[in-house]
């Protein structure tokens, strides 16, 4: 566990975590020798995945053992996302399925994460799913041990949700999903308030971890054999480590850590993509030359309504500047179709940017109204049918570009981090290129977890086939 700093603010944070370790011990005594199991269901982005790894860490510290079999679980945790509407339907369906398990086995049902910061959602859970035991929010994740202990002791429902700007907690146990690639959250929250987005409301204000805490975590990961690190935040390039220490400083320092072979980061915001960050990516040999540069929309009018703080031309100019400074750089992006007021001409501007940049990968979303955001209050909402048609047109363009782009890989030699056996074919191995493309190939198990050279021999839309070079 991290030692207390002299700084007063840190005492509070660390004392809270120390207290939670006490609760973990208490729960472990209560459930001793009972062979209790847990399962977890995670929705949403990589930040939520990383939070879930901390939830798993706490549960395992308490003595619960992970199972994929929900019906044998003594506690089921849902870590929720609310960025788009379909997540809500999915969650309510899943909680509905828990009723029988609760009745038959008395399983504890705990729901946490972003959706729990929305009052209309917690109200619905209280009213329609009274058998849910624990609700916790994004600012109280670390208190899950205390919540479980209180529930076990006092048998009463726990509602542990607060609405604050947020704090940074260090020292929680973590149980990671992967043993070669690891995500490291470098900052929490978001200050941007893009007009479609709920994240700033449910995750609080931007706050950065201290550089030494991040670097210590990554050094430890390197020592235990991790090769690839993804630095996470809603807006990583506004990372502020204090005393002028910026995101580019962090890239240089992570690049120096022995044992780490690849560094990725998501998501940067185009408006904060300063020259020092471009320079750091160019100079740091371990930083992958694949940049996720969320576009959201191609029309400057829509971008203004979205509160993105850049125009189409500024986005294109930034992409060009990055291309000039970083040889062989490739881009991936996020795009929303059907934002309120988006006209046919506006949508064409999005297609135009896609044609010009030729993204390596595009995460495409249909605009989803989020309660409490300015976008939801706009009058000129786009009919569902038009949104879907535009989505299909964008998808067709993106897929044709990916197929074309894949051709460029054929015959090239690619450095691939071998992740393991292919899920679809036991006899093949799978890995990823620097640009994050999946490559499947025949090889011996001893290649697993190594970075090797492969020659690409064919393309299959979502993956490439390779052979040892």
Contacting residues toward ligand SF4, per CB under 6 A: 190, 192-194, 197, 199-200, 234-235, 269
Closer residue to ligand SF4, CB minimum distance, 197 or 456: 197
Check residue 270 for interaction with ligand SAH (CB under 6 A).
Answer: no
Residue nearest to ligand F3S (CB): 44
In angstroms, the CA 190 to CA 209 distance is 14
In angstroms, the CA 121 to CA 438 distance is 37
Contact 198, 373 (CB under 8 A): yes
Q: Shortest Cβ distance from residue 195 to ligand SF4 (Å)?
A: 9
Contact 76, 59 (CB under 8 A): no
Closer residue to ligand F3S, CB minimum distance, 81 or 187: 81
In angstroms, the CA 332 to CA 321 distance is 16
The residue within the footprint of ligand SAH, chosen from 267, 350, 430, 433 (CB under 6 A), is 267
Q: Two tokens at 75? A: 């506690």
Closer residue to ligand F3S, CB minimum distance, 45 or 301: 45
The residue within the footprint of ligand SAH, chosen from 148, 199, 303, 454 (CB under 6 A), is 199
Strand partners for 164: none
Q: Look at residue 193 and give the partner it binds from ligand SAH, ligand SF4, ligand F3S, none, a contact being a CB closer than 5 to 8 Å depending on partner kind.
A: ligand SF4
What is the pattern of x (binds ligand F3S, CB under 6 A) and - over residues 62-91?
Answer: -------------------xxx--------
Neighbours of 404 (CB within 10 A): 11
Q: Shortest Cβ distance from residue 49 to ligand F3S (Å)?
A: 9
Q: Shortest Cβ distance from residue 82 to ligand F3S (Å)?
A: 5
Check residue 336 for interaction with ligand SAH (CB under 6 A).
Answer: yes
Check residue 295 for interaction with ligand F3S (CB under 6 A).
Answer: no
Q: Shortest Cβ distance from residue 443 to ligand F3S (Å)?
A: 35
In angstroms, the CA 378 to CA 26 distance is 50
Bond preceding residue 8 cis, omega within 30 of 0: no
Count of positions on this chain that bind ligand F3S (CB under 6 A)? 11
Q: Shortest Cβ distance from residue 48 to ligand F3S (Å)?
A: 4
Count of positions on this chain that bind ligand SAH (CB under 6 A)? 18
The residue within the footprint of ligand F3S, chosen from 24, 27, 40, 47 (CB under 6 A), is 47
Neighbours of 82 (CB within 10 A): 24
Return the SS3 of 22. Answer: helix
| Residue-wise DSSP of 305-353 | HTT-S--HHHHHHHHHHHHHHSTT-EEEEEEEE--TT--HHHHHHHHHH
Closer residue to ligand F3S, CB minimum distance, 141 or 353: 141
Residues 6+ apart with CB under 8 A from 346: 297, 298, 299, 301, 302
Q: Shortest Cβ distance from residue 193 to ligand SF4 (Å)?
A: 6
Q: Shortest Cβ distance from residue 51 to ligand F3S (Å)?
A: 8
């Amino acid at each position: 566990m991290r030692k207390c700093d002299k700084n007063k603010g840190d005492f509070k944070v660390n004392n809270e975590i120390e207290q939670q370790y006490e609760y973990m011990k208490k729960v472990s005594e209560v459930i001793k020798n009972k062979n209790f199991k847990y399962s977890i269901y995670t929705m949403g982005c990589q930040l939520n995945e990383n939070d879930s790894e901390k939830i798993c860490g706490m549960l395992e510290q308490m003595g619960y053992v992970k199972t994929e079999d929900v019906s044998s679980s003594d506690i089921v945790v849902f870590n929720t996302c609310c960025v788009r509407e379909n997540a809500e339907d999915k969650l309510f369906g899943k909680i509905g399925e828990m009723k029988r398990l609760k009745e038959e086995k008395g399983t504890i049902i705990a729901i946490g994460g972003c959706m729990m910061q929305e009052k209309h959602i917690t109200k619905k859970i209280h009213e329609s799913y009274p058998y849910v035991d624990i609700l916790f929010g994004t600012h109280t994740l670390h208190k899950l041990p205390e919540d479980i202990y209180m529930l076990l002791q006092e048998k009463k429902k726990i509602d542990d949700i607060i609405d604050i700007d947020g704090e940074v907690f260090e020292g929680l146990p973590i149980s990671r999903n992967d043993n070669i690639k690891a995500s490291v959250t470098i900052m929490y929250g978001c200050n941007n308030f893009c007009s479609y987005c709920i994240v700033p409301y449910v995750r609080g204000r931007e706050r950065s971890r201290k550089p030494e805490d991040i670097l210590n975590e990554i050094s430890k990961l390197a020592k235990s054999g991790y090769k690839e690190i993804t630095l996470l935040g809603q807006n990583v390039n506004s990372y502020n480590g204090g005393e002028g220490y910026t995101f580019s400083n962090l890239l240089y320092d992570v690049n120096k850590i022995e044992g780490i072979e690849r560094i990725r980061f998501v998501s940067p915001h185009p408006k904060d993509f300063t020259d020092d960050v471009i320079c750091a990516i160019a100079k740091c040999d371990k930083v992958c030359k694949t940049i996720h540069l969320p576009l959201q929309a191609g029309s400057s009018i829509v971008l203004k309504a979205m509160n993105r703080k850049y125009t189409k031309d500024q986005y294109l100019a930034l992409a060009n500047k990055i291309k000039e400074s970083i040889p062989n750089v490739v881009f991936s992006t996020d795009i929303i179709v059907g934002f309120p007021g988006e006209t046919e001409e506006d949508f064409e501007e999005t297609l135009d940017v896609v044609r010009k940049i030729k993204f390596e990968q595009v995460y495409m979303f249909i605009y989803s109204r989020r309660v409490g955001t300015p976008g939801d209050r706009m009058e000129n909402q786009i009919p569902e049918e038009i949104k879907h048609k535009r989505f299909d047109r964008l998808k067709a363009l993106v897929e044709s570009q990916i197929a074309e782009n894949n051709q460029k890989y054929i015959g090239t030699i690619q450095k691939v981090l071998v992740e393991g056996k292919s899920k679809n074919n036991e006899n093949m191995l799978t890995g990823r290129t620097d640009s994050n493309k999946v490559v499947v190939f025949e090889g011996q198990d001893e290649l697993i977890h190594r970075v090797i050279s492969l020659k690409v021999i064919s393309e299959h839309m979502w993956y490439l086939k390779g052979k040892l070079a």
